[in-house]
Structure 1
């Protein structure tokens, strides 16, 4: 068919002629080698000149897509067959080229020629390509160095304590197969390679431009959310860490507040459209929001169950109750601060402690104490207030001494009365 005509020479050469010639001859004939190189070069130039013209003569987009993709698939098959006869160094240009009078030299020339044609299609007609098509095996060798460097730098930052070490294997996982030395039968699509290449570059950029003490883990996670890194391993990592953080919070109200904040943060995170790690999974954003919603429902239910432990009548009884005091608000804040710092109050949450006193206690001048005002005086230093607190403590000491004196008076009188009774008993006995 006309659509395959431009590659018919390469297809026959790689699949039939070279196999036959290499089996029958240990080394290629010089004239044969020269003729193949000359004709392959000519066929490449014909392809580069005529392919676009053929494409635009097709007309409909569906037919144009098929025209590009059929050539794309065939080129990839021929490139994979060609590199079976090459070494990794031949692909990476990291070794000296093979001797000119060898089959390896000819296969390397054909591989580079086919790669140039494919690169032309990728550059000029990307919208017609099959992005879910398998990439040439050679591409995997070409990206290994970049991926390895990124993963090595990530591990170094984790060893220095700048990146959460639990995040490293999560990020390493999608690159594992691609970092292997051999790629036989490994299917990697254009879209997947494009995603991993972008991910590797963005992570490396974050790590390269970081400063010591900067929170790298958060920066990397922001990038993962932007790139829709919908890996099962990352979902388990994020939810596991967040779940542990939530459980460490002392009250249901704080846990709910944190979850609602995370829900807002995840919802408002910008996500790059049309990109993901795994097309078979839901988006990372939808997975995390679903998990957060379940956690919020659980915490609300748990809070509701805890509230029912007290009867409605019991709660109503204390709804309007206030402990009336002679303290001013500044004095109340200062004495609470004194008792808290001295360790007499064991509550770790200062906010809840101050909210409790503002709700159930009154000052000498006002029946309602603002929690914000009480909090302000809790942290505020004032010489006048400190002096008044010392006077109050002095009064308490005096009251305590009076209590001891009265007790001593009654004890002393009891002792005198007891001796008196004994003396009376003695007189009576006489």
Structure 2
């Protein structure tokens, strides 16, 4: 089949005819202007009529895809060339000019009809479009105006919802970078603009439905994971946030439990299909999973290397902790003697055992037990104390029997119900 180049007229008209005529004359004469507008409209209508038939004759998906994407890129390139001749306010305004005989008005009419061709491709052949194609200047200018306004509103909402300034800067950085782009030389693609538009919408939705201020930052992190916000600055922020969070857990076990919980939560998180901030980078979920897996291995190895030794912060946790009991000091001393004499406690150094219990236990009458007081009661035989301890032990025995009886009754009851 013979190749079809639908935009050859527009390429010649923009780069040769219009360029030459605007250089020679300050204003277009009425005949040139009228004929140019007529030719632009006729050529646009001709292309719209011919494209569908040409694609029907092609039939093969790969050929159709190539043609649509090639046409899409050519139209955007031509729109960009025309946009360089127009002021930004003219590109944002979709109304056709009413005054004739100016080059600016002719360029505006030309731009609008090229935009109609692009809209036709976008609406009729969406699944064939090149998402990595740069957006036309008017798309970018309209997005810039919207994002400038929306970012201000979102920042105010985030500030009142407890989102720290650093996270705000990371989240809004892509929007601010887009607003600073020059519309005729911007690298912003369809994919990037679509992503930021969707992200902008979901950030507003999050503000509308969020409840307590305390949970909003976490909901924001969940949203960024859902929409695959794999921005390198956000990933760095997240790693630092988790590292700082781990410092609040005093023991190796608690740190590992926290890391494994996060690993489970992120692995089970839902993601928006085929949606990504930067298609050149790995998905955010994969980066987080990899980082957490490495942290878990690291903490396990550190714990194994230290032989299970306690970290200083682990020991400081118990500095002011005491086990509160209803025992008197003589009863504690007598119970410890029974446990050591019977071999239930196997520590050889009894002095250390007594010092440990005096430091970490309280009696019914004393918030603080001196080591010497506990030591004296440990070695002192007192019949009344012995009897009171036996009574306490008998209560424990009876309580144990009572528990066993209840369990036995429940088992028997369940067993009998099956017959």
Query: CA distance change for structure 1 residues 124 and 264 in 2, over 3 Å: closer, same or farther?
Result: same
Query: CA distance change for structure 1 residues 248 and 140 in 2, over 3 Å: closer, same or farther?
Result: same
Query: CA distance change for structure 1 residues 12 and 212 in 2, over 3 Å: closer, same or farther?
Result: same
Q: What corresponds to 1:347 in structure 2?
A: 318
Cα deviations by residue, 1:113-158 (Å, 9 ceiling, x for unpaired): 1011101101110122222222222221121122223321232134
Give the superposition deviation at 1:4.
4.3
Q: What corresponds to 1:249 in structure 2?
A: 249
Alignment of 1:30-429 (within 5 A): 30-93=30-93, 97=97, 99-180=99-180, 182-211=182-211, 213=213, 215-307=215-307, 347=318
TM-score, L = length of structure 2: 0.72
Give the superposition deviation at 1:2.
5.8
Q: Distance in 2 between matches of 1:282 and 1:101?
A: 53
Q: What corresponds to 2:16 in structure 1?
A: 16
Query: CA distance change for structure 1 residues 66 and 94 in 2, over 3 Å: closer, same or farther?
Result: closer
Give the superposition deviation at 1:346.
6.6
Query: CA distance change for structure 1 residues 96 and 155 in 2, over 3 Å: closer, same or farther?
Result: farther
Q: Distance in 2 between matches of 1:96 and 1:219?
A: 45
Query: CA distance change for structure 1 residues 41 and 272 in 2, over 3 Å: closer, same or farther?
Result: same
Cα deviations by residue, 1:260-319 (Å, 9 ceiling, x for unpaired): 100000100111222211122111111111111111112112222333559xxxxxxxxx
Query: Which structure 2 residue ranges, 5 or more long, are not aligned?
Result: 311-315, 325-334, 339-343, 345-362, 377-419
Q: Distance in 2 between matches of 1:266 and 1:348?
A: 35
Contact 2:97 2:109 survives alignment (8 Å):
no
Q: Distance in 2 between matches of 1:124 and 1:206?
A: 33
DSSP-derived class of the 1:133 partner: coil
Q: What corresponds to 2:384 in structure 1?
A: none
Query: CA distance change for structure 1 residues 349 and 219 in 2, over 3 Å: closer, same or farther?
Result: farther
TM-score, L = length of structure 1: 0.70
Q: Distance in 2 between matches of 1:2 and 1:75?
A: 21
Give the superposition deviation at 1:98.
7.6
Query: CA distance change for structure 1 residues 353 and 94 in 2, over 3 Å: closer, same or farther?
Result: farther
User: Aligned pairs, how many?
Assistant: 337
Q: Distance in 2 between matches of 1:126 and 1:142?
A: 21
Q: Distance in 1 between matches of 2:235 and 2:323?
A: 36
Cα deviations by residue, 1:304-338 (Å, 9 ceiling, x for unpaired): 2333559xxxxxxxxxxxxxxxxxxxxxxxxxxxx
Give the superposition deviation at 1:30.
1.4
Contact 1:235 1:284 survives alignment (8 Å):
yes
Q: Distance in 1 between matches of 2:55 and 2:119?
A: 16
Contact 2:83 2:184 survives alignment (8 Å):
no
Give the superposition deviation at 1:220.
1.9
Query: CA distance change for structure 1 residues 12 and 301 in 2, over 3 Å: closer, same or farther?
Result: same
Contact 2:263 2:289 survives alignment (8 Å):
yes
Q: Distance in 2 between matches of 1:178 and 1:308?
A: 52
Q: Distance in 2 between matches of 1:300 and 1:86?
A: 63
Contact 1:90 1:97 survives alignment (8 Å):
no
The farther-off stretch of 103-112 and 62-71 is 62-71
Query: Which structure 1 residue ranges, 5 or more long, are not aligned?
Result: 311-344, 355-360, 369-388, 404-430
Contact 2:58 2:64 survives alignment (8 Å):
yes
Structure showing greater radius of gyration is 1
Over the aligned positions, Cα root-mean-square deviation in angstroms equals: 3.4
Give the superposition deviation at 1:207.
2.3
Contact 1:80 1:138 survives alignment (8 Å):
no
